[in-house]
Structure 1
Amino acid sequence: MTGKDTFDCDILIVGGGINGAGIARDAAGRGYSVILAEMNDLASGTSSASTKLIHGGLRYLEHYEFRLVREALIEREILWGIAPHIIRPLRFVLPHHRGLRPAWLLRLGLFLYDHLGGRKVLPPTRTLNLRKDPAGAPLRDEFTRGFEYSDAWVQDARLVVLNVRDAADRGAEILTRTKVVALARKGEVFEARLRMTETGAERRVKARMVVNASGPWVDSVIGLAANAPGRNVRLVQGSHIVVRKLYEHDRCYIFQNADNRIIFAIPYEDQFTLIGTTDRDYIDDPAEVAITEAETEYLLRSASSYFKRPVSRDDLVWAYSGVRPLFDDGASQAQQATRDYVLKLDKPASGAGMVNIFGGKITTYRRLAESVMQMVEQQLGARGKSWTGKTALPGGGFGIAGMDELVAALQRRAPAVPHTLLLRLARAYGTLAHDLIDTRGTLGELIGAGLYSHEVDLLMDREWAREPEDILWRRTKLGLHLTPAETQDLAAYMTARRQAMSPAA
């Protein structure tokens, strides 16, 4: 096949989570023509329901997943370098629990964690006297010794959106709220039928390859192409709770539990603490996942076994839940199933190829994309070299030490805007936060809780936001702060703006 007119794109990507986003960016940057179809909003599934960490996965060492841990540890500093606005380093405190893993085993694991991935910038592990260190103050008296190590925080949904934004800037076509409802091989191309969920309108697309990055729906997409359901993925539910702020310092905790699970307690959105996660098999519709009473009780009980002041239901502010699409490796327990990604190329002797993606984690999404591109190159020919680890994501070109200077520059342009608000904008948009400040030094019309109209406009115009939920719970977490009346004001503003921008207006 030589004529460009015989197909609409080189690669049709199904799924707008972190894996699909990263592949779209990498492929478009190498010169492939890309269409990405996401049936809902970007990052509306698993990718916005994470613990918000860029980390090696300390506990995976116990399962001997050294390759995964090494790859993830290397990626920490690479991702921090290309997205210093939405990624920042954190220190994690691991209290020694005398009844669980011995101290020597923790030290060994942390030694490997420090050295396995070639850490260059992040500070190393150190031992803490929790009787004297401020990190011990919120903890129960029996925890007298601990260890502190480095990992990093990420705004997970923004990581997805910025990858997609960069892909679009490099030529990819992004179709949100567009579901692939039919998929069939026709010789050397796939023919797909796409349905826009808002209007019901349909479009047909011919692609030389399909990348199935649909997460929990990966088997369903396989079934579309094969006309038969697949069974390759193990769905594991992970839930988190957000509670009122439990302590004042800026460090995080990692707590061991007697069932061999761990949970994190992490400062969240300035006024809260994030606690998670759970691991339980899930068999229902991934779109309907929600935290259970048992999970809520588990997280409250686990956190309360470490903190002096018990965490109760009265502290609860919000909860969220997601489904991890892990490769079904036959592990007996959900927490033992591999977090490593598995790529399967479905390519008949004569016909178009489809790459199916199972598992993975946010930290390794970029490496996963590079692995997918190797498969694409085998089928479609090479177009360009690996590039995504050295090129900043949109707004991230100021370097890991440049945040203070960026905020200061924003403050000079908008002297009447509170420093805390400018810091939030800098941490969300990086240098693109300058686009939110008009010639009068304002951010536009106040909608509520630090959300102004210029930010809403940017999110609608450049980040595919359509509904208030897209803004309040994915591109920002301002849903924790807006009142119901302010949320209604946001909905009215967005509706009016959509109508004004529609061709019929």
Structure 2
Amino acid sequence: MKPPVFDCDVLVVGGGINGAGIARDAAGRGLSVLLCEKDDLASHTSSASSKLIHGGLRYLQYYEFGLVRKALIEREVLMRCAPHLIAPLRFVMPHAPGLRPAWMLRAGLFLYDHLAPRKLLGGSEGIDLRRHAAGAPLKSAYRRGFTYFDAAVDDARLVVANAIDAAERGARVLTRTECLTLMAEDGHWTATLRGTDGAVTGVRARCVVNAGGSWAMKLRHGAVGAAKGGLRLVKGSHIVVKRLFQHDDAYIFQHADGRIVFAIPYQGEYTLIGTTDLDYDGDMGKVEISPEEVAYLCDLSSTYFKQPVRPADVVWSYAGVRPLVDDGAGDAKAVTRDYQLVMDEKAAPLLSVFGGKITTYRKLAEEAVDRVCAVLGAQGDAWTAGTCLPGGDIHGMRPDDRSVVGFGAFVREAQRRYSWLPARVITRYAHAYGTRMHRMLDGCSTPACMGRQFAADLYEREVRYLIDVEWARSADDVLWRRTKLGLHTHPETAAALTEWMHHHA
């Protein structure tokens, strides 16, 4: 028996931020879309970021003014579209004697403030670290500093939100489904997909979007044999330690080697420190932080903080490989973070996505779907800048500044509405699901209706929602990507959740 065949306009291969964003945009323009991802959504690079929506202050030293401007514009667009997932974050940059002079930092921040219009975030300013609260955790050698604003993001949930919207607009989303083969036939693509259960599915698509991230070159080469253009795989690693400071600002630290490292408040109880930039040629399925990277991040942090950071203090670490456009830069940290879209049309349309960063994913997706529509002769205007992501519609589906500046009021109202649950749980729901929390809790009025309690803040009701709506299939999907509760729960919780999901997922 031949495998079943799905006909679609666009087959998107890859369920990271770019693939999910492209699927959403294409579905919203009326194209029939199928997205396949061999693992879970955001299971690789898109959940291994520094959790920031930012212009990229350090890219100014490489004269990437166009990229920084584009990212700064997108920063505010995304904050309005997803106010529950993206929040303003102030950064403190201590002036380190012997490194970049203070006037240069001030000039760079002035440029950063003015490269793009800015309504939602404050500007930069100089501070006296001897009197400012942010100076207390730092060594006394750091007396002067600067502050500026960017934004924090729940990276994996941003991917899931895009996938949900794509599905609700008609896209078919298949997780844990690998694209085994791609063959061009009569101007179309025939693909063979295989799920983890061994089931094989045939797909006939007018166009394929190759959003495979670090696997993109392999897929393109297998489909069209093209070797022109390329990726440079750069590993970035992060460590998490117990909270090093009590205020809510983040730090950006300079290093004598030219790199910068962030120290960011994370999950209330922790500090996230990263990242590194190292060329990578290892197994893409087994990307891990090295002891040398741990030592580097600890040593740099200890240069600035009074409290030394040691490898033994690390409670969690993660690493991801960034598939960057190979621009010939000598040093991995200098490789451009801009993106490149390459269309192969000789046999059938194949659009490959190279590079990019999470901040510019929506613009990348918009440009990619413009290219797809052009080659397919399809109509459809760009729309995603003017429509909230699922959960972000606090003041309606059109993005609104009030949703950003008044998000605290939304949280407080939710706490009053669901006063029968702990305030901390409702706060997490508000940030993770936005207005979609009301769907998840529909019909519930007591803790009893939440079902089994796997951990202090994890109930069966939420897990069922994640299974039914968000493609969660494992304890890792729930604890590390959908809820970020992995750091707060015991190993026994993961084991119990795994057992329960084995019978219910």
Normalising by structure 1, what TM-score? 0.95
Distance 1:377 1:175 in 2: 23
| 2:311 paired with 1:313 | yes
Q: Is the 8 A contact 1:7 1:208 kept in 2?
A: no
| 2:443 paired with 1:452 | no
- Please tell me the root mean square deviation across aligned C-alpha atoms, in Å: 1.5
- Residue of structure 2 in register with 1:27 after alignment: 26
Q: Is the 8 A contact 1:406 1:431 kept in 2?
A: no
| 2:69 paired with 1:70 | yes
Q: Identify which of 374, 383, 392 aligns with 1:387.
A: 383
- Residue of structure 1 in register with 2:100 after alignment: 101
- Residue of structure 2 in register with 1:200 after alignment: 198
- Residue of structure 2 in register with 1:44 after alignment: 43
Q: Is the 8 A contact 2:415 2:427 kept in 1?
A: no
User: Per-residue deviation at 1:23?
Assistant: 0.4
User: Per-residue deviation at 1:468?
Assistant: 0.4
Q: Is the 8 A contact 1:239 1:322 kept in 2?
A: yes
Q: Identify which of 475, 482, 487 aligns with 1:468.
A: 475
Distance 2:431 2:135 in 1: 29
- Residue of structure 2 in register with 1:303 after alignment: 301
Give 1:230-245 correspondences, 5 Å limit: 232-245=230-243
Distance 2:285 2:212 in 1: 12
User: Per-residue deviation at 1:410?
Assistant: 2.5
Question: What 5-or-longer segments of structure 2 have no aligned partner?
Answer: 395-402
Q: Is the 8 A contact 1:449 1:481 kept in 2?
A: no
Question: What 5-or-longer segments of structure 1 have no aligned partner?
Answer: 1-5, 499-505
| 2:107 paired with 1:112 | no
- Residue of structure 2 in register with 1:415 after alignment: 419
Distance 2:207 2:245 in 1: 50
Distance 1:68 1:227 in 2: 30
Distance 1:441 1:101 in 2: 57
**Residue-by-residue CA offset, 1:307-351 (whole Å, 9 max, x unaligned):** 011111232110000000011111111001111101111111xx3
Q: Identify which of 306, 320, 323 aligns with 1:322.
A: 320
Q: Is the 8 A contact 1:87 1:152 kept in 2?
A: yes
User: Per-residue deviation at 1:228?
Assistant: 7.0
Q: Is the 8 A contact 2:120 2:405 kept in 1?
A: no
Distance 2:69 2:89 in 1: 19
Distance 2:501 2:456 in 1: 17
Q: Is the 8 A contact 2:232 2:324 kept in 1?
A: yes
- Residue of structure 1 in register with 2:397 after alignment: none
User: Per-residue deviation at 1:239?
Assistant: 0.2
User: Per-residue deviation at 1:220?
Assistant: 1.1
Distance 1:177 1:236 in 2: 25
User: Per-residue deviation at 1:221?
Assistant: 0.5
Whichever residue aligns with residue 305 of structure 1, its letter is T
**Residue-by-residue CA offset, 1:426-470 (whole Å, 9 max, x unaligned):** 000001112333432333321103011111011100000000001
Q: Identify which of 259, 263, 266 aligns with 2:264.
A: 266
Whichever residue aligns with residue 431 of structure 1, its letter is T
- Residue of structure 2 in register with 1:502 after alignment: none
Q: Identify which of 194, 210, 213 aligns with 1:212.
A: 210
Normalising by structure 2, what TM-score? 0.95
Give the secondary-structure state (helix, strand or coil) at the position aligned to 2:76.
Answer: helix
Distance 1:305 1:340 in 2: 31
Give the secondary-structure state (helix, strand or coil) at the position aligned to 2:203.
Answer: strand
Distance 2:458 2:224 in 1: 46
User: Per-residue deviation at 1:229?
Assistant: 6.7
Give the secondary-structure state (helix, strand or coil) at the position aligned to 2:351.
Answer: strand
Distance 1:249 1:13 in 2: 42
Q: Which runs of 4+ in 1 moved over 6 A?
A: 228-231
- Residue of structure 2 in register with 1:372 after alignment: 368
**Residue-by-residue CA offset, 1:130-164 (whole Å, 9 max, x unaligned):** 00000000001010000000000000000000000
Whichever residue aligns with residue 368 of structure 1, its letter is L
Distance 2:332 2:444 in 1: 54
Whichever residue aligns with residue 252 of structure 1, its letter is A
Q: Is the 8 A contact 1:395 1:429 kept in 2?
A: yes
Q: Is the 8 A contact 1:449 1:478 kept in 2?
A: no
Q: Is the 8 A contact 2:183 2:190 kept in 1?
A: yes
Distance 1:135 1:463 in 2: 38
Q: Is the 8 A contact 1:95 1:145 kept in 2?
A: yes
Q: Is the 8 A contact 1:403 1:426 kept in 2?
A: no
Identity of aligned residues (%): 54
Distance 1:449 1:94 in 2: 37
User: Per-residue deviation at 1:45?
Assistant: 0.7
Q: Is the 8 A contact 1:96 1:146 kept in 2?
A: yes
| 2:457 paired with 1:439 | no
| 2:91 paired with 1:92 | yes
Give the secondary-structure state (helix, strand or coil) at the position aligned to 1:332.
Answer: coil
Distance 1:404 1:364 in 2: 26
Whichever residue aligns with residue 467 of structure 2, its letter is M
Distance 2:238 2:216 in 1: 24
Whichever residue aligns with residue 163 of structure 2, its letter is V
Whichever residue aligns with residue 488 of structure 2, its letter is H
Distance 2:412 2:139 in 1: 40
- Residue of structure 1 in register with 2:126 after alignment: 127
User: Per-residue deviation at 1:225?
Assistant: 0.3
Distance 2:54 2:231 in 1: 23
Distance 1:118 1:405 in 2: 26
Bigger Cα displacement from structure 2, 393-402 vs 106-115: 393-402
**Residue-by-residue CA offset, 1:51-104 (whole Å, 9 max, x unaligned):** 000000000001111111000000111100010001000000010111111111
Give the secondary-structure state (helix, strand or coil) at the position aligned to 1:400.
Answer: helix
User: Per-residue deviation at 1:120?
Assistant: 1.5
- Residue of structure 2 in register with 1:223 after alignment: 221
Distance 1:306 1:341 in 2: 34
Distance 1:439 1:464 in 2: 22
Distance 1:226 1:166 in 2: 31
- Residue of structure 2 in register with 1:144 after alignment: 143
Distance 1:402 1:453 in 2: 30
Distance 1:220 1:86 in 2: 32
Whichever residue aligns with residue 224 of structure 2, its letter is A
- Residue of structure 1 in register with 2:54 after alignment: 55
Distance 2:142 2:198 in 1: 58
- Residue of structure 2 in register with 1:9 after alignment: 8
Q: Is the 8 A contact 2:295 2:310 kept in 1?
A: no
Whichever residue aligns with residue 386 of structure 1, its letter is A
- Residue of structure 1 in register with 2:355 after alignment: 359
Distance 2:493 2:480 in 1: 14
Distance 2:422 2:321 in 1: 38
Give the secondary-structure state (helix, strand or coil) at the position aligned to 1:320.
Answer: strand
Bigger Cα displacement from structure 2, 399-408 vs 201-210: 399-408
User: Per-residue deviation at 1:240?
Assistant: 0.1
Distance 1:80 1:451 in 2: 27
